[in-house]
Structure 1
Amino acid sequence: MNNEIIEEAYGSIFEAALIEEIASVAKLVEFKEGEVLIDIGKYIKTMPLLINGAIKIMREDFDEGELLLYFIEKGDTCAMTLACCMGDKKSEIRAVAETDGLVAMIPVHYMESWLGKYQTWRAFVFMSYDNRFNEMLAAIDNIAFMNMDKRLYHYLLETGKINSSQTINKTHQEIAYELNSSRVVVSRLLKALENEGKIKLNRNNIELLKVEE
């Protein structure tokens, strides 16, 4: 069963021999929306390969607030987790389930041995670092150069894309927390976006009316 699940998610990326090894050592873990999968300050002994669902990667600031860095989806892993695994360091990120899903957890020591054994694994690891690095640069650019209203709308679009839905089931306070802002500011900007015809504010959710950025 493990082999079929890994094959479906990663068969287009890894060769058959590596798929078999992953299936033989991986522990499949189901997770629920909102569950903390990796926490700040904890040692990481396994690395995640996401089978399905979505996970958001958060960074804690000095005031104990949080900032969304990026999402990982099916076929992804977390580059910051890889770095902590290889350096035997405590985690500097928090991974929180954005949706229900399934992840294959790989013991750390296999990651290093596969780097020398499988070319597809090396390519996957390097590509993951590159993708996550670019996403973190985009997050920094958003903070440094993008107005809060644009950051908010970008966040809504990205959340809708990750969840494959035009409906965002988050409170104003939850959005403010992830954008490291205040509920009052977020509520005001959401109302402005509604007046522009980009979203519709409902009692328990936010509906995207336009998907273009």
Structure 2
Amino acid sequence: MPSTVASSRSAGSKREILAKIPFLAEASSDLRKAFAEAATLVHLEAGEYFLREGDTCAHFAVLVSGRMRVFKLGESGHEITLYHVGAGEACPLNVSCILSDRTVPAMARVEERVEAIIVPAPAFRAWIAEHESLRKFVFLMFSNRLTEVMSLVEEVAFRRMDQRLARRLLDL
């Protein structure tokens, strides 16, 4: 996954980066401390893959900066964008893969250089069982993404192509 790992950050710099992660603001001091100890900063350049279909997930990641696109690649070679992940967010497919112990069913590619904090999947599994703030973050993330994907399905299934194109052009 990561193209470069930056583990030699100063304690102050690491604190500043961790302060950008929304759920940690509501987290217990125990979780903040454990997260800080387990966290590693990684960088991915535009065009690199964060996840590939069929991958397993060894780490939970939260984006500190940047943006990635999550999409499904069809047998025909066509892609459909499912959603985007940005700063302060985690990728639902990453979380789902960790919690279900299954492989990733889609792809995630970096669109804008990503800086992310990663922690080992076993630690994430233990923390989600113990800490409500992390569970709330994950459930809200799943809820938001499910709503986005439902809107996408509605648009593709129930709106004509010319209407979708006109809407996109008006949005530009």
Q: Using structure 1 for the length normalisation, give the TM-score.
A: 0.67
Q: Which amino acid in 2 is paired with 1:87? A: S
Distance change in 2, residues 1:116/1:32 (3 Å): same
Distance change in 2, residues 1:69/1:13 (3 Å): farther
Report the CA distance between 1:16 and its aligned residue: 3.9
Are 1:80 and 2:93 an aligned pair?
yes
Are 1:115 and 2:104 an aligned pair?
no
Residues 179-206 of structure 1, C-alpha deviation per residue, up to 9 Å, x if partnerless? xxxxxxxxxxxxxx4xxxx58xxxxxxx
Instruction: Give runs of ≥4 in structure 1 deviating > 6 Å.
Output: none
Distance (Å, rounded) in 1 between the aligned partners of 2:165 and 2:75: 22
Are 1:132 and 2:166 an aligned pair?
no
Q: Which residue of 2 aligns with 1:42?
A: 55
Residues 35-69 of structure 1, C-alpha deviation per residue, up to 9 Å, x if partnerless? 11111111111121111111110112232322100
Q: Which residue of 1 aligns with 2:74?
A: 61
Q: Which residue of 1 aligns with 2:8?
A: none
| Equivalent of residue 6 in structure 1, options 18, 22, 31 | 18
Distance (Å, rounded) in 1 between the aligned partners of 2:40 and 2:152: 31
Distance change in 2, residues 1:67/1:118 (3 Å): same
Q: Which residue of 1 aligns with 2:9?
A: none
Distance change in 2, residues 1:105/1:152 (3 Å): farther
Contact 2:20 2:88 in 1 (8 A): no
Distance change in 2, residues 1:53/1:150 (3 Å): farther
Distance (Å, rounded) in 2 between the aligned partners of 1:38 and 1:69: 14
Gaps of 5+ in 2: 1-12
Contact 2:98 2:125 in 1 (8 A): no
Residues 98-133 of structure 1, C-alpha deviation per residue, up to 9 Å, x if partnerless? 111211112111222112321101111111111111
Report the CA distance between 1:3 and its aligned residue: 2.4
Distance (Å, rounded) in 1 between the aligned partners of 2:155 and 2:54: 26
Distance (Å, rounded) in 1 between the aligned partners of 2:92 and 2:53: 15
Larger relative contact order (CA 8 Å, sep ≥ 6): 2
Question: What CA RMSD, in Å, does the superposition of the two structures yield over aligned residues?
Answer: 2.1
Aligned length: 159
Report the CA distance between 1:73 and its aligned residue: 1.1
Q: Using structure 2 for the length normalisation, give the TM-score.
A: 0.81
Contact 1:40 1:92 in 2 (8 A): yes
Distance (Å, rounded) in 1 between the aligned partners of 2:26 and 2:86: 15
Are 1:99 and 2:112 an aligned pair?
yes
Contact 1:53 1:101 in 2 (8 A): yes
Matched residue SS, 1:136:
helix
Q: Which amino acid in 2 is paired with 1:26? A: A
Larger radius of gyration: 1
Distance change in 2, residues 1:123/1:91 (3 Å): same
Larger % of strand: which? 2
Distance (Å, rounded) in 1 between the aligned partners of 2:166 and 2:65: 25
